[in-house]
Amino acid sequence: MKILRIVFCTLACLCVAASVIIGALFGWIYFLALLAAAAVFGMAMFVCIRVQEKGEPSERRDFMDPPSEDDTQKKQ
């Protein structure tokens, strides 16, 4: 998943950079098309981030939980 995030981020940046040059040379339609592609790649990158974060277990505990063995060993 991390590789997909890097690929989507790179593609989004390349689309934004190319949109200025292509838009100046060929017109507004190509400029808008490349910006739309950059937005799609950016959204795909954020979707990959969300999916990866959902798969990782959270280490936060509720303050009402009894202390674990690791906590008692750290205090000694």
Q: Where are the domains of the chain?
A: 1-53
Provide the pLDDT for residue 53.
79
Provide the pLDDT for residue 13.
96
Provide the pLDDT for residue 66.
65
- Alpha carbon distances (Å) from 42 to 19, 35, 56, 59, 73: 15, 10, 22, 28, 45
- Alpha carbon distances (Å) from 30 to 14, 17, 34, 39, 75: 14, 13, 6, 14, 63
Query: What is the full per-residue pLDDT of the chain (76 aa) written as tens digits?
Result: 789 999 999 999 999 999 999 999 999 999 999 999 999 999 999 999 888 877 766 666 666 666 666 655 655 5
Provide the pLDDT for residue 2.
85
